[in-house]
Amino acid sequence: MLKLYYAKGTAALAVHITLNELGADFEAIEVNVRADEQRSAEYLAINPKGRVPTLITDSGGLTETPAILVYLIQIYPQQNLARIDDPFMFARIQSLNSYFCSTVHVTHAHKTRGTRWTNDPTALATLQASVTDNMTDCFRLIEEELIKGPWALGDHYTIADPYLFTVTRWAINDDVNIDQFPTVARHYAMMNERPAVQATMLLHR
């Protein structure tokens, strides 16, 4: 059985939703980041990075959301959550998810985890003050250039969709008005109607 280590408010949400979409047999184990459980010796033995998500498989542990999502759609290919038979379309999914991971996630993290980059109070305040504007810029690019609608990459639901849903939740919490981005706003509403999302959110509120 797969084991997912997750924390509320993190990118683990995208993996958790995907596991439910796939109908996977898995156990979800919450890591209490407010209590710094991710830095405990027990958790560091599971994931030395001290981050979530971590997915434990029969072959070992996996970290990093884009990698875990790709693993899942390869062990559940019958669910067709990615065009793994089409190299270009599969690369587009990877490109979009990589942007969420490397740019949007980092921008969002400046709000509450700025000490990863600086301990200077003035610099921290500057990082935090810029989050809303910078996240708005990220979502303007997402809206105008990166997603297609109604789903992230067109008519077919893929592993990019739970990730887009996750970063959209962050944007809303960062005071970004997503109503100015109609494709993103419609996507967010559609995701909230999916049974897998509703079931997952019971553990992520």
Of 66-70, 101-105, 126-130, 148-152, give the lowest mean pLDDT range.
126-130
- Give the gyration radius of the chain's Cα atoms: 17
Q: Integer distance in angstroms from the first to the last C-alpha of the chain?
A: 25
Return the higher-pLDDT residue of 116 and 181: 181
How far is C-alpha 125 from the geometric centre of its chain's CA atoms? 25
pTM, 2 dp: 0.97
Instruction: Find the DSSP H helices in 76-143.
Output: 87-99, 105-112, 121-141
Q: What are the pLDDT digits (tens) for 145-179?
A: 999 999 999 999 999 999 999 999 999 999 999 99
Instruction: Give pLDDT, residue 39.
Output: 95
Q: What are the pLDDT digits (tens) for 29-63?
A: 999 999 999 999 999 999 999 999 999 999 999 99
